[in-house]
A = this chain, B = another copy of it.
Amino acid sequence: MTTASSEPRGELELIRRLAARFAPPGAARGAVDFGDDMALLDPSGPLLWTVDMLMDGVDFDSRRHAWDAVGRKAMAVNLSDCAAMAVAPVAALCAVALNERLSMADAETLIAAADACGRQYGCPIVGGDTNSWAAPTVISITVAARARSGAPPVRRDGARPGDTVWLTGPVGGSILGRHLTFEPRVTLALELAARLRPHALIDISDGLALDLSRILTASGCGAELDAAALDAALHADAARLAAEDGRPAREHGLYDGEDFELIAVLPSDVPESDAAALGLRPIGCIVADRGLWLASGEGPPEPLPVRGWEHFR
């Protein structure tokens, strides 16, 4: 192992390097780009797959969280990726490295809870790999999903100036509990995709600002968020957390990870009432100027820093 403190680090930099290596510009990789929420598995048909790995002490805390809640989350984060592409999950594989002191009952609870959560969405666990070791428990779930007939997967790169930006639910403060108990927006995403034909879709795993910026980068445009609309879309947990730590609630809404709501970019001709009928709430619009902007009605829009949860920093 070599370490060099001067080198650029961070998960984003690593993914950038891997994407450059695995999907060089111009390389034909099918209809879904490297780095989207899921990877295309079957070039001859709309079958996609995704993987998410959760680690004890990072994504959950086994001293505080019950194993069934952990297993549920391990599946739900993958289902959220399915929602983010508006595809229907069909089956999962589950790989675990169990801390050797874990009881058999707890190990079974962990995996059974993941399976039960998947089954709610038509996605049972069909195989996997079980391991144990002295280090903290790791659970990694792979999910495969299918596009509905006539409804291609919704990618990140279709946002166009004039489009509107919506959330499927309130954001901020998920660390107070919702990061474990959130409901993946699979059903809503399929309905939304069929009825509103979104130009882009992503789930909020690393924070509204960072995940929205992924749509903007892929689409080559910017977004202007409306301050009042954004404030109206804050979860009560954002205010509770703000009261605890003194940071503005809006910052929690923009930068907290693991809300697992969807950001939907809709064509400008979709009536607001159609989006509102599905429970969506507007937060802004797509603009030509690249970057993320906040308009408060006083003066020109201000640039918003783009940051969020990033591994490997």
Q: Which residues of A contact B (CB under 8 A)?
A: 1-4, 7-9, 11, 13-15, 17-18, 21-22, 29, 34-36, 38-42, 47, 49-53, 55, 57-58, 62, 67, 90-91, 93-98, 100-108, 111-112, 115, 124-136, 138, 140, 142, 144, 311-313
Contact = CB atoms under 8 A, between A and B. Distances in A.
28 contacts: A2-B105, A7-B104, A9-B104, A11-B132, A17-B104, A18-B111, A18-B125, A21-B115, A22-B126, A38-B127, A39-B93, A39-B126, A41-B47, A42-B47, A47-B47, A49-B49, A49-B144, A51-B127, A51-B128, A51-B140, A53-B97, A53-B129, A55-B131, A55-B133, A55-B138, A98-B312, A130-B311, A132-B312
A49 B145 CA distance: 13
A36 to B, nearest CB: 8
A311 B128 contact: no
A131 B309 CA distance: 11
A18 B127 CA distance: 9
A30 B287 CA distance: 49
A93 B8 contact: no
Nearest to A9: B104
Name which of A106, A107, A124, A138 has the most chain B CB atoms within 10 A of its CB: A138
Given A11-B131, A39-B127, A51-B94, 4 more contacts: A17-B108, A21-B108, A34-B126, A41-B91
Q: Shortest 9 CB-CB distances between A and B: which pairs?
A: A39-B127, A132-B312, A39-B126, A53-B95, A142-B142, A135-B135, A140-B140, A51-B93, A51-B95
Contact of A126 (B4, B29, B111): B29
A131 B53 contact: yes
A32 to B, nearest CB: 9
A312 B107 contact: yes
Contacts of A135: 55, 57, 135-136
Contact of A127 (B14, B21, B49): B49
Chain A facing B: main interface SS: mixed
B21 A126 contact: no
A63 to B, nearest CB: 8
Nearest to A101: B3
Contacts of A126: 22, 29, 34, 39-41
A14 B104 contact: yes
A11 B107 CA distance: 10
Contacts of A100: 312
Given A105-B4, A124-B22, A93 B49 contact: yes
A102 B134 CA distance: 20
A128 to B, nearest CB: 6
Name which of A17, A40, A41, A52 has the most chain B CB atoms within 10 A of its CB: A41
A131 B21 contact: no
